[in-house]
C-alpha cells in the first residue's frame, strides 16, 4: 500500500486525486489554517498547520506504517516561477526556499516515491535544477515533463510541469487518456442550476456568482463566447484598453465557450474582468462551484463548514491554487502501476 504525506496540501486537490486512485493519504501540511476544514473533511486525513521549513523528517516519518511504500508529495507554491510574474524580481520572494526545504525533507525521510507539480517555467530556475540533481544523487529515477491537463480529461487549458521520482526503478506518467478528445465546459458545468450575477443557488452555497456593476453587466451582454472586449462598442471599453499597451490582453472580460475546455483557473477566476471567466451564456462570471468543477473537484466538495460565511477571495484562492484533482488521480494511478511493476 502506498501511503502519502502531502506537503503544501492546500484544500486537498492532489490528495483527493491520490485518494481516488487508491493511495492512502495520511496527512497534509500547509501554512494556511483556512485549508484545514476542506482537507480534513474531504480527505479524511490529518491537517497540520505548519511552516515546512520548521518541519523535520522524523515528524513526517511517524505518519507512515511500517510496511508502507512511502510517498512524499510537495507541490510548492508556484508564484515565484509563474509567467504572471514576468518582469517582476522574485528573487527575494519568501516562497523561493520551499523547494530546497522539500529536498531536505526527502533526504531525511528517504521515501520510495516522490512527486511534485508546478508551472512549466519552474524548470528555468536554479532551485529546480538543484532539486533534480539532489534527487539523482540520492539514487532516484526521475520522470519530469510538461503535461497538458486536457490530455487527461481536465476540462481546462492548464499546463503543468510534473515530476515523479522513485528509488524502486524507472518511472513514468501513464499515457494520455483524452488526447484529441478534450472534455468541454458544457460537459463539466452545463447541468448546474441557472443563477444571476450576485445570486446564490439555494441548494448549494458554493454555487454563487459575484455581483456585476451596471457597466460590467452591459459589457457581458455584448460579449460572445470566445470573443473579446475588442468587439464591444467604444463607450464600453476600459480606458486601459484604448491604449496600445492594453491590446495585449484580449482575454480579459471574456466569455468561455461551451464546446471548448475552460481557460486556466486562477485564484481570481470568479471575476468577470480577471480573464475569460464569463459564463458561456448566462450574464455573469462563473460561480465558485463551477470553478471548482473545472478544477475537477467533486460537485459536493466542501471548502468551508456548512454554517460559515462564504467569501469569494479565500475560497477562490483555495480553488485556483489547487492541484487539479484529475491530475492528482493520474499521478496516483501512475505510482500504483509503478509499485505493482517493481513491488
Which residues face 73 on adjacent strands? Answer: 6, 115
C-alpha distances in angstroms, 245 versus 174, 228, 240, 249?
Answer: 42, 16, 8, 9
User: Taking phi first (over 0 means left), then psi (-120 to 50 degrees means alpha), and beta for anything else, what does residue 105 get?
Assistant: alpha
Which candidate in 9, 35, 75, 78 is catalytic?
A: 78
| DSSP secondary structure, 227-287, as one string | --GGGS-GGGS-GGGGSGGGGG-TTTT-B--TTSPBPPP-TTTT-GGGTT-B-SSSSSBPP
| CA torsion through residues 10, 14, 20, 24, sign | negative
201 part of the active site:
no
Please choose, from the candidates 234, 236, 235, the residue with its C-alpha nearest in 3D space to the C-alpha of residue 212. Answer: 236
Return all residues near 300 (Cβ < 8 A) that are at least 6 apart: none
Q: Say if residues 312 and 297 touch (Cβ distance below 8 Å).
A: no
Which one-letter DSSP state was computed for residue 75?
-
Q: Say if residues 208 and 195 touch (Cβ distance below 8 Å).
A: yes
SS3 144: strand
**Torsion angle, CA of 50/54/59/63, rounded to 10 degrees?**
40
- The C-alpha cell at 228 is 473579446
| CA torsion through residues 131, 132, 133, 139, sign | positive
In the β-sheet with 159-166, what is the strand arrangement from edge to edge?
46-49, 24-30, 2-7, 69-74, 113-118, 159-166, 141-148
- Please give the positions annotated as active site: 78
Amino acid at each position: 500500500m502506498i501511503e502519502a504525506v502531502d506537503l503544501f496540501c492546500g484544500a486537498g486537490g492532489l490528495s483527493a486525486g491520490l485518494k481516488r486512485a487508491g493511495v492512502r493519504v495520511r496527512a497534509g501540511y500547509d501554512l494556511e489554517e483556512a485549508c484545514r476544514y476542506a482537507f480534513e473533511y474531504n480527505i479524511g486525513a490529518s491537517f497540520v498547520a505548519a511552516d515546512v521549513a520548521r518541519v523535520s523528517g522524523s515528524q513526517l516519518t511517524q505518519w507512515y506504517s511500517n510496511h508502507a511504500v512511502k510517498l512524499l508529495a510537495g507541490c510548492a507554491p508556484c508564484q515565484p516561477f509563474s509567467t504572471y510574474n514576468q518582469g517582476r524580481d522574485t528573487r527575494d520572494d519568501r516562497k523561493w526556499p520551499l523547494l530546497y526545504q522539500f529536498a531536505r525533507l526527502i533526504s531525511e525521510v528517504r521515501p520510495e516515491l516522490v512527486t511534485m507539480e508546478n508551472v512549466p517555467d519552474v524548470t528555468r530556475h536554479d532551485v529546480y535544477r538543484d532539486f533534480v540533481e539532489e534527487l539523482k544523487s540520492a539514487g532516484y529515477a526521475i520522470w519530469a515533463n510538461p503535461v497538458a491537463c486536457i490530455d487527461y480529461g481536465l476540462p481546462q487549458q492548464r499546463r503543468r510541469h510534473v515530476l515523479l521520482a522513485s528509488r524502486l526503478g524507472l518511472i513514468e506518467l501513464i499515457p494520455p487518456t483524452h488526447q484529441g478528445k478534450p472534455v468541454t465546459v458544457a460537459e463539466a458545468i452545463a447541468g448546474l442550476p441557472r443563477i444571476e450575477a450576485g445570486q446564490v443557488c439555494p441548494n448549494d452555497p458554493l454555487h454563487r456568482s459575484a455581483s456585476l456593476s451596471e457597466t460590467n453587466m452591459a459589457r457581458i451582454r455584448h460579449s460572445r463566447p470566445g470573443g473579446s472586449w475588442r468587439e464591444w462598442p467604444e463607450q464600453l471599453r476600459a480606458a486601459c484598453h484604448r491604449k496600445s499597451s492594453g491590446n495585449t490582453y484580449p482575454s480579459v472580460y471574456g466569455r468561455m465557450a461551451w464546446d471548448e475546455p475552460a481557460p486556466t483557473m486562477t485564484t481570481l477566476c470568479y471575476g468577470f474582468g480577471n480573464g475569460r471567466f464569463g459564463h458561456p451564456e448566462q450574464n455573469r462570471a462563473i460561480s465558485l462551484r463551477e470553478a471548482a468543477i473545472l478544477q475537477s473537484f467533486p460537485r459536493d466538495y466542501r471548502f468551508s463548514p456548512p454554517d460559515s460565511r462564504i467569501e469569494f477571495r479565500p475560497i477562490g484562492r483555495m480553488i485556483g491554487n489547487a492541484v487539479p484533482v484529475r491530475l492528482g488521480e493520474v499521478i496516483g494511478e501512475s505510482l500504483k502501476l509503478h509499485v505493482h511493476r517493481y513491488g
